[in-house]
Structure 1
Amino acid sequence: MHIGCYGVETFGMSETRVKPIQAEIEKAIRLFTNVGKSAAMERVRADLGIKSVFLKTSTARERAYHKWPRLKTWIAYLIKSPIKARMAT
């Protein structure tokens, strides 16, 4: 789970971006718990105490959004001066 979530702060809060990572983690959970494809993964994850990747990415992104402007690195500059128009990049 931790390897799959490395650098998730930069993914954004997009469920489609984390879907492939979530699928691989669910394969591992199915293998570990020995359940079939008909099992509800939301319930299996809840029983094991595992959060979804989307929830982890959203939480990490929100934390980074508040933490990064106070850093003394280049990321603070990027956060403080966001892109005004996507076509300009």
Structure 2
Amino acid sequence: FANFVNGRMCSAERTGRELTKAHRYLQQQMFKVCIGFIRQLAINYQKGCYDERNKWASQLAAAAYDRLTEDNLIYAPEYTNLKM
């Protein structure tokens, strides 16, 4: 995936749009990967494990994951406890 993003992807928006054309089950699975990535970036942000190159992504991921857990859309007590 990193090789694709680094060399073959022409547009993140276009790639996202193309992914929605996959089979519905695959969309569900791809979204789980997306949430897993967001979760890990959020954890890294909470722990201060980021630098200026990925600060924006980490900060945005933390804000999004915070909202998902606050709205009980994702159950993640280990993340919630990490923030305390």
Using the size of structure 2 for normalisation, the TM-score is 0.37
Give the number of the structure whose alpha-carbon radius of gyration is greater: 1
More relative contact order in 1 or in 2 (CA 8 Å, sep 6+)?
1
Q: Give the structure with the larger helix fraction.
A: 2
